[in-house]
Amino acid sequence: MIRRLLVANRAEIASRVFRTCRTLGIETVAVHSDADAELPYVAEADLAVHLPGNAPADTYLRADLVIEAALRTGADAIHPGYGFLSENADFARAVQAAGITWVGPQPEAIEAMGSKIEAKRLMEVAGVPVLTNLDAESATEADLPLIVKASAGGGGRGMRIVRDLADLAGEIEIARAEALSAFGDGTVFVETYVERGRHVEVQVWGDAQGWIAVLGERDCSLQRRHQKVVEESPAPGAFTRATRKAMHRAAFLAARAISYQGAGTVEFLYDDQAERFFFLEMNTRLQVEHPVTEMVFHTDLVELQLRAAQGETSDVDYPEKPDGHAIEVRLYAEDPDHDYQPQSGLLTRFEIPTGPDVRVDSGFATGTTVTTHYDAMLAKVIAYGRTREEAARTLAGTLRRARIHGVTTNRDQLLAILGDHRFLAGEVSTAFLDQMLERPAPVGRPEVAAALAAAEAGRRDRTVQRGTPVGWRNVISQPQRVEFEGDVVVEWWGGRDGYRVDGVTVVAASPTTVTLEVDGVRTSYEVAAGPDGAHDVDWPGGHVALRRVPRFVDPADAVASGSLLAPMPGTVVRVAVSQGQQVAAGDTVLVLEAMKMQHTVSAPTTGTVTEINVQAGAQVASGEVLAVVEEDGG
């Protein structure tokens, strides 16, 4: 019987496991790095142990420190969460050797599925359809497109699509580096890439006596950079009963082949054009997207994991069909409009409403800081409905009412997906986001609301002449002018008759709320002023973050023409050029690593590298000048 459990993980998944433990009366232990000390999960645990440092290799990947923390706190069980050490057979064995209960499958099962290369061979023998691995040396144009994958990985790390054979060697090297950094194993393999495939996975659970249950499937096709964005259960669209049954059977065979115990997921690539599917991998752990299965099967997968770990046998008759539909979206700290660049910073406001059919699994809260050391996911928002359309509508309404300030997120992209006619028709694939049309700009006048809220804040903060109307002048010669970054300019007039803005009727204004009328339609805007001239504006049409341009700019802040600025905080992993070297537009100059992904900084033009200001291993801030490329003839 488990009495005190340590979660060898962080943020959202740690909070999720603690929630079930509280329900079952199990005491909890958290471990945390320097950067995570203030995150909510640390305070939620009964006990917490500090792992010095920030890099995963120094903290959450240190099996010895995690086991020592369990022994020091008297924890009699360890739950690995997902990522980090969750699929490390050696860690599972070390936990058991220390006399601690391992909440996961037996180490032999982890090992069997730990190498995607070996796992495919094993599945082929078990009768599960697989894609054939290709030899990188002998691949031809006829094999294109190809995909490079990390053998020990997941979550999109160490995964690269190759459309030109000339790029294959370089993409293999990048994939190896990402895989080594994320998983400690740089082994990769190459296989055919199915251009418009669907990513469908089947949830399985096994007990200590060999009983294996299948709890439906999830569609996880909507991805960016091979990382999931939207997941749902059951799989939508033209997914026939025969295909569903065959896929569930294949997952059962996969789990039975390794006598699987606990919760696991068998992932398939489904080609709906040819009505066929192939084994991708088996995740011998809890999946990020497990909540959608829990909602439609009315079960708790973490509780099932704990039951299996305690040696309990199954006494539940799992229904063959799910009840209703559930959709989950992953809220990331990233900018979809700029190649999904990771974002970091202080969350000045982080509020997502919940309800009877809405669940939010989050690792952050208002006042916490998003760092570059770990994954960019802030939260998972999950909605349930009797139908898929109902679930999508509920989820979209929840996201619209969310208030997220301080960092750029993919919230607006998620809303666009949930409203896309193809998504609503169930026409999903791994190419969905690449083919998505540009999102329309939100309709409204948030810049006017921000300018007037700032004026009202100025009135509120006056120490003299508080009765004087805002913007009052003896002789009006010109309007007041407010400029925001991005060439957004607002001109307005004030005085005893109130505010006047061309094309807009100002109904009411305060430092936090502004009501405007345009073409006979009234809209209220919430405005939150932050430091350094920042204004977050929320209204029914969306959210924007506006930053006022200062009237006077310090010349020291200017940078030389041709400067390559760090697009995000991160670590320089490679400098590909030397000072004085000639480069062509698009050539790699540096490679940065942030939030467990590598990002290439390329030469913007053909020219000469005149400055290199960093070296491999250097930590850089967003906007820092990394190098300068002087244009030829410039």
Say if CB 89 and CB 114 are below 8 A apart: yes
Considering only residues 32 and 554, tell me which one the structure prediction assigns the higher pLDDT: 32
Say yes or no: do domains 4-103 and 555-631 share a fold.
Answer: no
* Separation between Cα atoms, residue 123 and residue 576, nearest integer Å: 41
Residue 437 pLDDT level (bands cut at 50, 70, 90):
low
Mean pLDDT of 303-319: 84
Considering only residues 233 and 554, tell me which one the structure prediction assigns the higher pLDDT: 233
Would you say residue 568 has pLDDT above 70?
yes
pLDDT in tens, 512-522: 999 999 999 99
* Separation between Cα atoms, residue 596 and residue 181, nearest integer Å: 8
- Asked if the bond preceding 356 is cis, omega within 30° of 0, the reply is no
* Separation between Cα atoms, residue 188 and residue 168, nearest integer Å: 12
Q: Tell me the pTM.
A: 0.86
Say if CB 139 and CB 168 are below 8 A apart: yes
pLDDT in tens, 588-607: 998 988 776 778 888 888 98
Say if CB 414 and CB 383 are below 8 A apart: no
* Separation between Cα atoms, residue 67 and residue 65, nearest integer Å: 6
Phi first, then psi, for residue 358 (nearest 5°) are: -130, 130
Residue boundaries of the structural domains of the chain:
4-103, 446-540, 555-631
Say if CB 76 and CB 2 are below 8 A apart: yes
Classify burial at 221, counting beta carbons within 10 Å of its beta carbon; exposed 0-12, middle 13-18, buried 19 or more.
Answer: buried
Would you say residue 439 has pLDDT above 80?
no
Q: What pLDDT does 557 receive?
A: 59
- Helix ranges (H only) for 2-106 are 11-24, 40-44, 63-73, 89-97
pLDDT in tens, 100-125: 999 999 999 999 998 878 898 999 99
State which of 154-158, 205-209, 295-299, 317-321 shows the largest mean pLDDT: 295-299
- Asked if the bond preceding 145 is cis, omega within 30° of 0, the reply is yes
pLDDT in tens, 53-75: 999 999 999 999 999 999 999 99
Residue 159 pLDDT level (bands cut at 50, 70, 90):
confident
Would you say residue 634 has pLDDT above 60?
no
Say if CB 109 and CB 261 are below 8 A apart: yes
- Tell me the two tokens of residue 235: 């799989």
Residue 209 pLDDT level (bands cut at 50, 70, 90):
confident
Q: Which is nearest to 301 in space by CA: 218, 363, 362, 245?
A: 218
Say if CB 589 and CB 579 are below 8 A apart: no
Q: Which is nearest to 268 in space by CA: 298, 247, 292?
A: 247
Would you say residue 185 has pLDDT above 60?
yes
* HSE-up (13 A, CA, CB side) for residue 342: 26
Would you say residue 156 has pLDDT above 90?
no
Say if CB 536 and CB 547 are below 8 A apart: no
List the Cα angle 78/84/90 in 5-degree steps: 65
- Architecture (CATH level 2) of domain 4-103: 3-Layer(aba) Sandwich (3.40)
Strands 77-79 and 4-7: parallel
- Tell me the two tokens of residue 438: 């540009």
Q: What pLDDT does 530 receive?
A: 86
Q: Which is nearest to 282 in space by CA: 303, 308, 260?
A: 260
Would you say residue 581 has pLDDT above 80?
yes
Greatest extent of the chain over all pairs of C-alpha atoms, in Å = 89
* Separation between Cα atoms, residue 110 and residue 104, nearest integer Å: 9
Task: Please report the DSSP string for 555-580 in residue order.
Answer: GGG---TTEEE-SSSEEEEEE---TT
Single-letter residue type at 59: T
pLDDT in tens, 329-345: 999 999 998 888 889 99
Mean pLDDT of 420-448: 88
| Averaged confidence pLDDT in the chain | 91
User: What is the percent of the chain with per-residue pLDDT over 70, rounded to a whole number?
Assistant: 97
- Architecture (CATH level 2) of domain 555-631: Beta Barrel (2.40)
DSSP bridge pairs for 405 = 349
pLDDT in tens, 520-562: 999 999 999 987 789 999 999 999 999 999 877 666 556 677 8
Q: Which residues contact 11 (CB under 8 A, 6 or more apart)?
A: 36, 39, 41, 363, 364, 374
- Tell me the two tokens of residue 571: 């670590």
